[in-house]
Structure 1
């Protein structure tokens, strides 16, 4: 097995769009700010040779997931209170933003609130402010290997055998703890809704995923997406 040499995480965000309106929707009695976050996760795996040359082995892009946090004028009037409110929302959301480190989440929240403050400081006539942010989280896994011995048959992202997948995955019963968890493959909530819940499956390492998500993942890579637990490949 390749040795994990290093793990690098990069985090970026930016305000991409702002919209204001003086028309008050029936659901909005007073001034309201809508923070729209579009979150995406990119994962890449690299092989590092003895001469410190790196080679890209695989790269996966997870679908963009959106998250909306709405805030009233009363909530926004105190920076500390609005900061706390938004952090709580982003921690419990199923969009994938809950995966961020607490320091990164605080940095994102502070940035979003500062940007909102630029539009509200002048006391404009608008009643609804819509701010759209792009958030990107990049994970890089770097492994040690002699590239001279590297070929397609020893590629890190080799799929698990179908028989091994069926044997390794176990059905998980829905419980009250599930709503706080996200599938690390699609980044969506594991809980579903009252009318439809996807099958939940557990790896031998005890990590839980949507059944279709983890089966599709293991047909590409025989490693657990979270802890790199290995499923047999032959």
Structure 2
């Protein structure tokens, strides 16, 4: 028997700062979009014989910048799909990722509409601070790395992006997926698809 942390509460917080700069002239109207991510994790651990929770905050390494460029006549849907593919590696909840893409595409469109007459290229920068907040209850349980998910918490599967309504599995890192999705994933990889936490082989 060993102590294991069972996640009772999970919240993903995200804050966003954006700026735009003017770049030297180009032959076409362009907007360069740069995303920067600063991830952190806060764990509140409730121990059986203690009144005060143990709070752990971890600032994870900055994720590399992701760059995109958009021409005036680029297809918006294709642009969204391109950004979504790149940002899937970031520690963002799918809803937060979709919101970030919506903000970026809206700003790109607005910049094209108000492009200064003597500047054909603008640079749009997004700084994203992603903070995972988790509350754990420390319990004694057998060493099992797969735990049933809370069926009442509305959450999306980060693998297929559909809402989880039934047949969910949670990993010990706290991320929850459709049972079929995570079982297929774990056949080829022994890490969480969201945070890369290493599972037992």
What's the TM-score, normalizing by structure 1? Answer: 0.52
The corresponding residue for 2:129 is 136
Kept in 1: contact 2:38–2:129 (CA 8 A): yes
Equivalence map 1:170-181=2 (5 Å): none
The corresponding residue for 1:38 is 36
Kept in 1: contact 2:12–2:92 (CA 8 A): no
The corresponding residue for 1:70 is 69
Q: Deviations over 1:72-116 (max 9, x none)?
A: 0101xxxxx42x22322223227834x534432221122122223
**Aligned pair 1:7/2:10, yes or no?**
yes
The corresponding residue for 2:163 is none
From the two aligned structures, give the one with the greater helix fraction: 1
- Using the alignment, how far apart are the partners of 2:23 and 2:61 within structure 1? 33
Which of the residues 101, 108, 127 maps onto 2:120?
127
Q: Indicate how the Cα distance of structure 1 residues 94 and 107 shifts in structure 2: closer, same or farther if over 3 A, else same.
A: closer
State the secondary structure of the residue aligned to 1:4.
strand
Q: Indicate how the Cα distance of structure 1 residues 4 and 136 shifts in structure 2: closer, same or farther if over 3 A, else same.
A: same
Structure 2 residues without counterparts, runs of 5 or longer: 140-185
Q: Indicate how the Cα distance of structure 1 residues 133 and 10 shifts in structure 2: closer, same or farther if over 3 A, else same.
A: same
- Using the alignment, how far apart are the partners of 2:65 and 2:7 within structure 1? 32
How many residues in Structure 1 have an aligned counterpart in Structure 2?
148
What's the TM-score, normalizing by structure 2? Answer: 0.59
State the secondary structure of the residue aligned to 2:14.
strand
Structure of higher RCO (CA pairs closer than 8 Å, 6+ residues apart) = 2
Structure 1 residues without counterparts, runs of 5 or longer: 76-80, 147-202, 210-224
